[in-house]
Each structure stands twice: as C-alpha cells, then as structure tokens.
Structure 1
Amino acid sequence: MNNEIVSNAMEMVKARIGISTSVRDMYLQEIIRSVVTQLEQEQGLSLKSGNSYHLMFIVDFSVWRYQNVDESGAIPRHLQFRMHNLVITGGGNDVQS
C-alpha cells in the first residue's frame, strides 16, 4: 500500500469534510486505507502517488464512505463511472501533478 497516497488523501478528505482536528484521524485513515486496498487488490489497479486523478478518486470515494448512511450501500453513479474508467484504462491518466 502506498503510504504517501494515504497521507495526501487524509489531508484532502479532512478539508473536504471540514474537520480541522485530529479526533477522527484513525477512523478516516482506515477508510482511506480500505479504499486504496479495494482499488489495488480487488480492482487490480496500480495507484501512483503523483497522479492527481487517482488521488481525487480516493478522496471522493473515501468521503462518500465516511458520509454514507444509506443502508443499501448503493454507490453513486459518478463514482461508479469513474471507478469503471479507472479499471478499463488500467489506472487512469498517467499525468503527474
């Protein structure tokens, strides 16, 4: 697992949710790690720490997991499409930020 991606995503997830303290850091970090693990192990992606497309997908997916209270667990369509595109292209754009 790429720890640089996890730490970069952590700061962005906290900013997106509006958390400025470290109270929920452990919980958020586990959500982000589970997203990265799912993408790498289940979807077979090779995530790159400098790829902004990868990072923003991890952030958006992690925020959705954190905020999701829907018992059906239905992933939003925009995340489905983006994950599908990542899998089809083998990891998305190779644009380095």
Structure 2
Amino acid sequence: MMDTATVVALVKERLGIRTTVRDTYITAIVDGVIKELEDEKGLVLDGANPYHLMFVVDYATWRYQSRDSDGAMPRHLQYRLHNLMIHAGGVQNDV
C-alpha cells in the first residue's frame, strides 16, 4: 500500500513547496495517480519499494506541473510505467 502522506511530502520537496496551501490539491493528484495505476494499469503498488514510490512521486509531480497543458506524458515516465507494468505483470485493458 502506498502512503499518500509520504508521496505528498516528496512531491512538495521536489517542487520546492514549503507551505500547506496546496496540500489538498496535491493530495487529490496523488490519490488520482495511485488509483489510475492500480485500477487502469493493473499495478499493485508497494510503498516500501523505492522504485514504486519514486515513480508515483515523479508522475504526480508531472501531473501537477502540466495541469494546464495538453502535452503527452514525458518519455522517461512512459518508459518507467511500461517497465513497471511488465515487471509487475500488470494487465492492459483493451478498450
């Protein structure tokens, strides 16, 4: 299980945010990212796995920073997500 508070704290560190003003928004993004990875990508996230933890942090940070743009997910995130899905045996849903 992924600890949302830890992810939020790390996202804030990465962004250089020192106040709690944006915590509600960042927490919503983190919760959404975790839900997406688990429900849509079929991943079982392990909060004790630093690779899983940092992927969620980086993905949530990108989501926060790109909230007003239509840009595609950066290549490094796509590559890491693909590797997580292969390694964890995630199932892609054909829709």
> Counterparts of 2:73 and 2:21 in 1: how far apart (Å)?
27
- Mapping of residues 1-97 of structure 1, within 5 Å: 2=1, 4-68=2-66, 69-71=68-70, 73-90=71-88
By how many angstroms is 1:67 displaced? 0.4
Match of 1:94 in 2: none
By how many angstroms is 1:70 displaced? 2.3
> Counterparts of 1:28 and 1:41 in 2: how far apart (Å)?
20
Tell which deviates more after alignment, 82-91 or 9-18.
82-91
Match of 1:95 in 2: none
| TM score, norm. by length of structure 1 | 0.85
Provide the aligned C-alpha RMSD in A: 1.2
Identity of aligned residues (%): 49
By how many angstroms is 1:15 displaced? 0.4
| Structure 1 residue ranges (4+ consecutive) displaced by more than 6 angstroms after TM superposition | none
Residue by residue over 1:24-76, the C-alpha shift from the partner in whole angstroms, topping out at 9 and shown as x without a partner, is: 000000000111001100011111111100000000000000001322x3000
By how many angstroms is 1:7 displaced? 1.1
By how many angstroms is 1:77 displaced? 0.3
Residues matched between the structures, number: 88
